């Protein structure tokens, strides 16, 4: 299979085969061509050359409905739902059972809900067909995507980075679902950058590098190191090398902050914390304990209900994004597509989003296109953003390269405080190593870094201090050598005093 986008060869004569009842992992760097290969299989793109056989017969897949008719289902890297509709409605969308005798097109809600429930029970998905998509967790939304494919009788299921947005608990649940599907003979393609997960669940692994297949190997006998080497073509250091921090004066001070969530419930309930110059403070916690609302309040996106936020002594509480920006706060947003980027804008425009009001990007209110191009030229190469030049739209980049684009812009703004919310989500092993290095560089240059991450390994390897957030409050502080168990107890609200260690 070969797929070109203009000059970009996203897939270059790739061979790939998938067996019934197998979990076949697809690995590769950001932009290696994984999502493209799957999109061709699902009929979203037509191949430039090559052929696809299903059950030994050559097939033509010109649209997702062709793919569905062949029993191919796909869970996308970025979900595709209608948020205000219920789960059942979203699942049946495009394949609605219509009640006989009624005017054409009237949805038979009863039948749809019954089938959704049956499938949910069979695979242990625990889905409530009547809940609205916008009200359920990301993990649930993903199970809905899986169920939508099963509803259409998928025998081949493509999961494009299903775990990137899940919590540890949700990942465990997903693994159980995958095993159950596999026992029923479903063939599964599993894309992930997390090598441990791949070794845990996959039978075979195919590695793509810059559009080409590096070959297929069985998982038995492979290690994280050997897979990482196949992915990036060199050895990857999994251990971070960093000197002890030498923190200075406080930069960010948050005191007794209260913030409401979208539903008007109090998500942050009196949080107090500080980040000093030259240190990385990590906020650890189970997803949904107020991290998002806290970050949004600090970065000026959300108006807090009470409390105070200062940067270098300047009060920015509730003053909005521009005040946070002027105070020197940079923000690597957890949702690159909704918050971090303007997808239809070019790479150069996206990179200029923070600095466009000042020279050299603008003068006397006029934008300077040459300065944008120069900025893009410098940052795209410094941060190894692959897959497009300065004039390409951000939408055309692979997920991980979109992430690198956000990181490049924020770090380049030379902030006082860098708020990094899930900064390595969707990045390949090599890119994670690179970004971790940049975060430590910021720290060593005397900036403050607030890292919010659900990955406990990332938290423990980067942080100089770990703060645990639970139900909207900072409940414990740990040094970076805290054990997984100590963190786990504090994160679930247990034994607060026993786990509390106060750093210098």
Ligand X SMILES: Nc1ncnc2c1ncn2[C@@H]1O[C@H](COP(=O)(O)OP(=O)(O)OP(=O)(O)O)[C@@H](O)[C@H]1O
Quote the CA–CA distance of 39 and 3 in Å, as a whole number.
Answer: 10
Point out which residues pair with 419 in neighbouring strands: 331, 450
State the residue number with the nearest CB to ligand X: 387
**What x-and-dash track marks residues 51-90 binding Mg ion by CB under 5 A?**
--------------------------x-------------
**Binding partner of residue 356 among Mg ion, ligand X, none, CB cut-off 5 to 8 Å per kind:** none
Closest CA to 310 of 246, 266, 269, 256: 256
Say if CB 163 and CB 195 are below 8 A apart.
no
CB of 387 to ligand X, least distance (A): 2
**Binding partner of residue 388 among ligand X, Mg ion, none, CB cut-off 5 to 8 Å per kind:** ligand X
- The burial of 102, by beta-carbon neighbours within 10 Å (0-12 exposed, 13-18 middle, 19 or more buried), is given as exposed
Burial code (b: 16+ CB inside 10 Å, e: under 16) for 342-370 equals eeeebbbbbbbbbbeeeeebbeeeeebee
Applying CB under 6 A, what is the total number of residues that bind ligand X? 21
Selected range binding Mg ion among 21-29, 31-39, 240-248, 273-281, rule: CB under 5 A: 31-39
10 is a contact residue toward ligand X (CB under 6 A): yes
Contacts by residues 42-47 (CB-CB < 8 Å, ≥ 24 positions apart): 42/67, 42/72, 42/74, 42/158, 43/67, 45/3, 47/1, 47/2, 47/3, 47/11
Q: Which two tokens stand for residue 400?
A: 């991980």
Which of 311, 394 has the CB closer to ligand X? 394
**Binding partner of residue 242 among Mg ion, ligand X, none, CB cut-off 5 to 8 Å per kind:** none
**What x-and-dash track marks residues 20-39 binding ligand X by CB under 6 A?**
--------x-xxxxxxx---
Binding to ligand X in span 391-430, by CB under 6 A = 396-401
Which of 352, 388 has the CB closer to ligand X? 388
Binding to Mg ion in span 384-423, by CB under 5 A = 398-399
**What x-and-dash track marks residues 367-396 binding ligand X by CB under 6 A?**
-------------------xxx-------x
Quote the CA–CA distance of 213 and 223 in Å, as a whole number.
Answer: 19
- Respond yes or no on whether the N-terminal peptide bond of residue 360 is cis (omega within 30° of 0): yes
Q: Which of 35, 90, 206, 289 binds Mg ion (CB under 5 A)?
A: 35
Which residues would be at the binding site for Mg ion (CB under 5 A)? Answer: 35, 77, 398-399
Which residues would be at the binding site for ligand X (CB under 6 A)? Answer: 5, 8, 10, 28, 30-36, 77, 386-388, 396-401
């Amino acid at each position: 299979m070969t797929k070109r986008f203009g000059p970009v060869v996203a897939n270059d004569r790739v061979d790939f085969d998938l067996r019934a009842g197998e979990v076949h992992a697809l690995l590769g760097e950001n932009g290696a061509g994984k999502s493209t290969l799957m999109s061709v299989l699902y009929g979203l793109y037509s191949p430039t050359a090559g052929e696809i056989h299903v059950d030994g017969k050559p097939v033509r897949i010109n649209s997702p409905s062709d793919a569905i008719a062949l029993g191919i289902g796909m869970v996308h890297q970025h979900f595709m739902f209608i948020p205000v509709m219920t789960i059942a409605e979203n699942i049946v969308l495009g394949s609605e059972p219509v009640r006989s005798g009624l005017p054409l097109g009237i949805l038979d809600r009863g039948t749809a809900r019954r089938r959704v429930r049956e499938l949910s029970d069979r695979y242990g998905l625990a889905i409530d067909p009547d809940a609205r998509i916008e009200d359920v967790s990301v993990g649930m939304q993903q199970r809905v995507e899986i169920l939508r494919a099963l509803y259409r009788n998928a025998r081949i299921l493509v999961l494009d980075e299903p775990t990137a947005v899940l919590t540890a608990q949700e990942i465990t649940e997903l693994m159980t679902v995958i095993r159950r599907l596999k026992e029923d003979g479903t063939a599964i393609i599993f894309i992930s950058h997390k090598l441990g997960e791949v070794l845990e669940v996959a039978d075979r692994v195919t590695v793509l590098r810059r559009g080409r297949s590096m070959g297929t190997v069985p998982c038995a006998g492979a290690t994280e190191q050997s897979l990482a080497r196949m992915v990036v073509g060199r050895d990857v250091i999994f251990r971070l090398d960093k000197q002890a921090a030498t923190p200075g004066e406080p930069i960010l001070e948050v005191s007794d902050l209260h913030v409401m969530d979208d539903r008007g419930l109090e998500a942050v309930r009196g949080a107090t914390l500080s980040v000093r110059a030259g240190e990385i403070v990590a906020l650890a916690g189970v997803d949904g304990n107020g991290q998002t609302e806290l970050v949004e309040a600090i970065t000026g996106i959300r108006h807090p209900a009470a409390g105070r936020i200062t940067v270098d002594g300047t009060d920015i509480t509730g003053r909005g994004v521009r005040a946070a920006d002027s105070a020197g706060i940079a923000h690597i947003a957890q949702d690159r597509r909704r918050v971090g980027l303007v997808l239809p804008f070019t790479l150069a425009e996206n990179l200029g989003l923070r600095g466009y009001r000042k020279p050299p990007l603008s003068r006397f209110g006029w934008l300077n296109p040459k300065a944008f191009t120069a900025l893009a030229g410098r940052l795209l190469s410094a941060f190894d953003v692959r897959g497009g030049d300065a004039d390409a739209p951000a939408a055309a980049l692979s997920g991980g390269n979109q992430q690198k684009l956000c990181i490049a812009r924020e770090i380049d703004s030379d902030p006082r405080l860098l708020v990094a919310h899930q900064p390595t989500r969707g990045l390949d092993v090599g890119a994670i190593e690179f970004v971790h290095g940049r975060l430590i560089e910021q720290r060593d240059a005397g900036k403050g870094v607030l890292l919010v991450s659900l990955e406990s390994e990332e938290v423990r390897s980067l942080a100089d201090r770990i703060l645990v957030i639970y139900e909207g409050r900072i409940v414990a502080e740990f040094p970076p050598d805290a054990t997984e168990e100590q963190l786990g107890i504090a994160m679930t609200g247990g034994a607060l005093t026993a786990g509390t260690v106060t750093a210098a």
